[in-house]
Amino acid sequence: MRKFIPVDELARDGRFEKLTMAGGMADARGGRNASSDQSRRSSNRISPNRPNASDGARSLMHGIFVGEIQALEGAGRTCWDFTDDEAPFALKLDMARQCWDEARHVEISARLSDYMGTEIGEFAENTVLFEAACSRDPLLRLAGVNRALEGLAIDVFTTMKEFGETAGDPVLRFSEDWMLADEVTHVKMGSDWLRRLTDNDPERRKNALEFQRVVDKLFSFGGTRSESEESPIGLARRFRELAGFTEQEIDDVAEVSLNSLHETAAERAKSRDDARGAFAETTNH
Ligand SMILES: [Fe+2]
Ligand SMILES: [Fe+2]
């Protein structure tokens, strides 16, 4: 049986990054083909007028469904795992409220998936959100899950809501809008508690924000989410502001995401050059 190692221990020496990278989250072979896409259109943003739009949206919705289950499990664990000294009772009450929201999101996203013609289990998923939710430190759970991952949920739901708007699909648009309102609240809980719990402990706050940055980078998925039109998912600045992110923090996420996009583009270009070189060598013999 696999030995369970809390995610903050893995993050400390970079193993978390390697683990999730090896798990295919940043596999440059997957997802978009940025350069060839670009030659045909000016934007890669997920939109109904693209030929593969429905598969992209279905896959995203399936990922949301799985993420909602993990967010529900994670918030539930935080209510149970800690004494009131380790995590204040009022924080646990917030997490209990979050469980209620996430349970509703599981139902909404399962039904939306069905509505979009997807079978549950049709797409491969990972369990990184749950692993981040298993940290031994409640503060790291707030930083990694509520701020980094649910911050990403804000970006994804905003993009999906716009997708529903453009496609003229009120079911998708309203469902995403309702879930988005809850996620802004969950991220705000993370922002408020992170500040409250580290009011007199700048070192602890610094470590938590560092962990958040690691998770943010991992979940940039090679630039799938950024402010560039080359990314399928945008960065929802206004909703992040409402969720307690400062302008500087939003700029930081934007920068990490954009760097990730450029790194992936460079990796793809290198892979193409290597393949070209290998092919040329074969044909020369
Ligand atoms: Fe949710
Ligand atoms: Fe949430």
Kindly give the distance from the C-alpha atom of residue 111 to the centroid of ligand 1, in angstroms, as a whole number: 14
Ligand whose nearest atom lies closest to the CA of 69: 1
Three-state secondary structure along 197-259? HCCCCHHHHHHHHHHHHHHHHHCCCCCCECCCCCCCECCCHHHHHHCCCCHHHHHHHHHHHHH
C-beta atoms surrounding 45 within 10 Å: 17
What's the CA-to-centroid distance between 187 and ligand 2, angstroms?
7
Enter the DSSP assignment of 148. I
Distance 183 CA to ligand 2 centre (A): 5
Question: Distance from the CA of 102 to the center of ligand 1, in angstroms?
Answer: 5
Tell how far the Cα of 71 is from the centroid of ligand 2, in angstroms: 6
Task: Give all domains of the chain, ordered by start, each with its CATH number.
Answer: 43-284 (1.10.620.20)
Q: Over 70: is that where the pLDDT of 101 sits?
A: yes
46-70 pLDDT, tens digit each: 777 766 667 888 898 999 999 999 9
- Could you tell me the pLDDT band of residue 268, with boundaries at 50, 70 and 90? confident
Closest ligand, as measured to the CA of 184: 2
Among the bound ligands, the one closest to the CA of 94: 2
Comparing 262 with 5, the larger pLDDT belongs to 262
Q: Give me ligand 2 centre to Cα 145, in Å.
A: 9
How confident is the prediction for the chain on average, in pLDDT?
A: 84
Q: How far is the CA of 239 from the centre of ligand 2 (A)?
A: 14
Ligand 2 center–CA 262 separation, angstroms: 29
Interval 171-194: pLDDT, tens? 999 999 999 999 999 999 999 999
Looking at the chain, the whole-number percentage of residues with pLDDT higher than 70 is: 82
- Distance in Å, CA 80 to ligand 2 centroid: 18
93 CA → ligand 2 middle, Å: 15
Q: How far is the CA of 144 from the centre of ligand 2 (A)?
A: 12
Q: Separation of 189 CA from ligand 1 center, angstroms?
A: 13
- Does this model's pTM top 0.85? no
For 244: left if phi > 0, alpha if psi spans -120 to 50, otherwise beta; the answer is: left
Q: What is the pLDDT of residues 29-42, one digit of tens each?
A: 444 444 444 444 55
Phi–psi pair at 6, nearest 5 degrees: -60, 145
Site of tokens 């079911």: 171
Neighbours of ion ligand 2 (CB under 5 A): 71, 150, 183, 186
The whole-angstrom distance between residue 278's C-alpha and the CA centroid of its chain comes to: 36
Alpha helices in the chain (DSSP H): 7-12, 15-22, 34-40, 53-81, 89-115, 128-132, 138-141, 150-167, 170-197, 202-218, 237-242, 247-284
273 CA distance to ligand 2 centroid (A)?
42
Mean pLDDT of 257-275: 88
Ligand 1 center–CA 96 separation, angstroms? 13
